[in-house]
Amino acid sequence: MASTFYITTPIYYVNARPHLGHAYTTIVADSLSRFHRMLGDRTWFLTGTDEHGDKIAKAAAAQNETPQAFTDRVSGQFRALWPRLNVRNDQFIRTTDPDHKARVQQFLQRVYDNGDIYFGEFGGHYCTGCERFYTEKELENGLCPQHLTKPEFIREKNYFFRMSKYLPWLKEYIQAHPDFIRPERYRNEVLAMLEGGVLEDLCISRPKSRLTWGIELPFDKDYVCYVWFDALLNYISALGWPDGEKFATFWPGEHLVAKDILKPHAIFWPTMLKSAGLPMYKHLNVHGYWLSKDAKMSKSLGNVVEPLDMMNIYGLDAFRYFLLREMNFGSDAGFSEESLVTRLNADLANDLGNLFSRVLSMNAKYFGSRVPAAGDRTPDDEALVELAENAVENYIHLFVSVRFSQALEALWELVRALNKYVDTQAPWTLAKEGRTERLSSVIRLILECMRKVACCLWPVMPGTAEAMLGQLGQPVAEGAQPGTHLSDEKGRWNVLTEGAAVASASNLFPRAEMPKAEKPAKAPKAKPAAAEQKSKTEDKSQIVYDDFAKLDLRVGTVLSCEKHPNADKLLKFQIDLGEGEPRQILSGIAAHFKPEELVGRQVCVVANLAPRTIRGLESRGMILSVEDDTRLRLIAPDGEMKPGSRIS
Ligand code: ME8
């Protein structure tokens, strides 16, 4: 029988619109759920919104809306965002759902009947932002450590959950289950809280005289349930606890949260489960904060990044990849567009995109875009096969242990090794020397590895992985997943069908521009003398169409690029202009690019420029570029074109 995998995100407060922090947790949950589906597990992925409590009631009042109208509206914004980020949650829960409310009352009654809820009086410092009481000791200079605001001191009669009764048990449980809370630093943090002896029973009610926006206690209609007690129960109410089929199938599951809500998840929730006699969750996976301008990204600090903005500028999958690759799960990470662009250009455009682009165009040229035959493996091939198998194995192991950044790094070892293998095996030389059989087995091995990479990447970059598999002649049906179990991938070779059609070109990740830094106001540059200006711009005598028609302008694909051995400023290109043989062109742009950045890119070439020899090497053509005061860029078509296409 297949294993099951149940993953949850926090249910988000609806007091503000979703931002990059919420998107991160939800995209991680989506990737994990897709990953487990590809491992063959039966999965269930839950997200939703947390809609009761003071904070929401106040936010609704501030907008002159009823709490219900307000929560309907903002919850709708969360619900609508997820499909746009290609998040495929199986369920979206709202704590205002009647079904959830009924289950919460049932749970409260059970714990009450067990004798774990009592009535008493309590005074504490209440932070509405956190929706919790702080003890004197926990405050920092009298302020809430999360929100840096002064909490309100409240003394009132309330109901309490006998949490302290279960704390010795919890400590032992955490000690006996090293993976229960991970990464380890958070486990240690929780153990320290339990050692500290400051934890008391949990106040789980609010008098209706102060707050009505909540779930009524089944045993006292003058009180509503404390929002955290209500919210944590979403994880089982969504599954239809106590008697739902989904509960029987998927519980216990695992949770994904940031460190801000470690305590409710690591202390309140397990003791609640224990009191009700329910099995413990499997793992609490805790990540750090996305920081913006060196502070936690949060609406209240006004430094949030909008996920849709990033997606619109850089593409959804580049954004998803960046989030998982950049944050070392458990630690904080700084968000900046510069780091996003750097990753996109280095990992995606250069390493991965280039690999697909150059290999598919070589395969088009040498094998008419058909999958070539596999051949006997040389020691170089065996080394690549071993590396690929290890990379896949490491990737799977690291991914399921929520070490996403390290997992992707492990996979990139394969991507980089493939680019290197192309360089060392030099298919163009094999072609020139007529070694067709070897050429065929080299290209085939690379295509097989590319398929593995695409399958592994599906959980993180589903759209791109589907495009890659489509290019390799292995299309994924709409709404489906790649037809392989990741656990079998390690040893799966020769999956592509010999002779089947594959794409002849690929342009997965166009390079991104660095965002323009806000420049300090500068004194305007002195205008060039009128005569000088004229000579630069206008003083070109007019031409007639026939003059223009003399130019033979073509699109070419860079097959290789290296420094000119005798000239620092020059790069030596081999460019595919669809002529069979690559063209050698020299270009004086070495100061602006690293040669390896340009391989696989398309350029515009003056193809009928008379050949000339520069520093001992022949150049047959010219690459077009554009330059302003600060930089130089290459001219290229705005989408992939067949090499040799005429520009008119
Ligand atoms: O706490 N960096 O909801 P919430 C990383 N309703 N993740 C971030 C983040 C940041 N800067 N900001 C937010 C609540 N998050 C409760 C949860 S669960 C039973 C109840 C993410 O809207 C992260 O997952 O304040 C964090 O734990 C969650 O949003 C907090 O969401």
Q: Give the position, in ligand 1's atom list, of the atom nearest the Cα of 13.
A: 22
| pTM of the predicted protein model | 0.80
pLDDT of 112-132, one tens digit each?
999 999 999 988 899 988 888
**To test the ligand 1 pocket, which listed residue (261, 268, 272) has its Cβ within 8 A of the most ligand atoms?**
261
CA distance 46 to 251: 12
Band (494; pLDDT cuts 50, 70, 90): very high
CA distance 510 to 58: 46
User: Ligand 1 centroid to 181 CA: how many Å?
Assistant: 17
Question: What local confidence, expressed as pLDDT, does residue 641 receive?
Answer: 87
Q: How far apart are the first and last CA of the chain?
A: 62
pLDDT of 433-473, one tens digit each?
999 999 999 999 999 999 999 999 999 999 999 999 999 99
Least confident range from 59-73, 262-276, 527-541: namely: 527-541
* Residues pairing with 11 in the sheet: 48
Within 13 Å, how many C-alpha atoms sit on residue 283's CB side?
15
Within 13 Å, how many C-alpha atoms sit on residue 16's CB side?
15
Q: Give the position, in ligand 1's atom list, of the atom nearest the Cα of 264.
A: 19
User: Ligand 1 centroid to 182 CA: how many Å?
Assistant: 17
Q: CB within 6 Å of ligand 1 — which residues?
A: 10-13, 21-22, 24-25, 50, 231-232, 234, 257-258, 260-261, 289-290, 296-298
Question: What local confidence, expressed as pLDDT, does residue 452 receive?
Answer: 98
Which amino acid is located at 3 in the chain?
S
Closest to 226 in 3D by CA, of 217, 238, 218: 217
- Structure token pair of residue 569: 């400023």
Residues catalogued as catalytic: 19, 22, 127, 130, 144, 147, 296, 299
Listing DSSP states for 88-110 in one string gives: --SEEEETTSHHHHHHHHHHHHH
pLDDT of residue 352 exceeding 90: yes
* Residues pairing with 13 in the sheet: 50
- Mean pLDDT on 277-302: 90
Which amino acid is located at 2 in the chain?
A
Q: Are 186 and 266 in contact (CB under 8 A)?
A: yes
Helices vs. strands in the chain: H and E counts, helices first: 24, 26
- Structure token pair of residue 139: 């405050």
Q: From residue 296, how far is each of 20, 49, 304 by CA, in Å? A: 11, 21, 9
Torsions phi, psi of 639, nearest 5? -160, 165
- Mean pLDDT on 160-179: 97
- Residues ≥6 apart with Cβ < 8 Å to 638: none
Q: Give the position, in ligand 1's atom list, of the atom nearest the Cα of 50.
A: 6
User: Ligand 1 centroid to 514 CA: how many Å?
Assistant: 30
Q: Are 492 and 470 in contact (CB under 8 A)?
A: no
The pLDDT mean for the chain works out to 92
- Residues ≥6 apart with Cβ < 8 Å to 96: 51, 52, 68, 71
- Mean pLDDT on 589-603: 88
Q: Locate tokens 């789980």: which residue?
A: 204
38-48 burial, b at 16+ Cβ within 10 Å, e below that, comes to: bbebebbbbbb
User: Ligand 1 centroid to 131 CA: how many Å?
Assistant: 13
3-state secondary structure of 536: helix
CA distance 575 to 365: 13
pLDDT of residue 513 exceeding 50: yes
pLDDT of residue 182 exceeding 50: yes
The full set of domains in the chain, from first to last, is 4-287 (3.40.50.620), 335-488 (1.10.730.10), 551-647 (2.40.50.140)
Q: Whose CA is nearest to atom 9 of ligand 1?
A: 21
Orientation angle between helical segments 404-425 and 354-367, nearest 10 degrees:
30
Tell how strand 612-614 and strand 152-161 pair up.
unpaired
- Structure token pair of residue 244: 């739902």
- Residues ≥6 apart with Cβ < 8 Å to 302: none
CA distance 323 to 85: 12
Which amino acid is located at 124 in the chain?
G
CA distance 606 to 550: 10
Question: What local confidence, expressed as pLDDT, does residue 196 receive?
Answer: 79
Q: From residue 316, how far is each of 11, 307, 344 by CA, in Å? A: 23, 9, 11
H or E element in which residue 616 lies: none
Band (311; pLDDT cuts 50, 70, 90): very high
- Structure token pair of residue 404: 């996403």
R_g of the chain computed on alpha carbons = 30
Within 13 Å, how many C-alpha atoms sit on residue 257's CB side?
21
Torsions phi, psi of 614, nearest 5? -120, 125
Question: What local confidence, expressed as pLDDT, does residue 579 receive?
Answer: 84
Question: What local confidence, expressed as pLDDT, does residue 538 receive?
Answer: 35
pLDDT of 516-552, one tens digit each?
764 444 433 433 333 333 333 333 567 667 778 788 8
CA distance 625 to 592: 11
CA distance 304 to 10: 18
CA distance 643 to 578: 5
Alpha helices in 116-268 (DSSP H): 167-176, 184-195, 227-232, 234-237, 245-250, 262-263
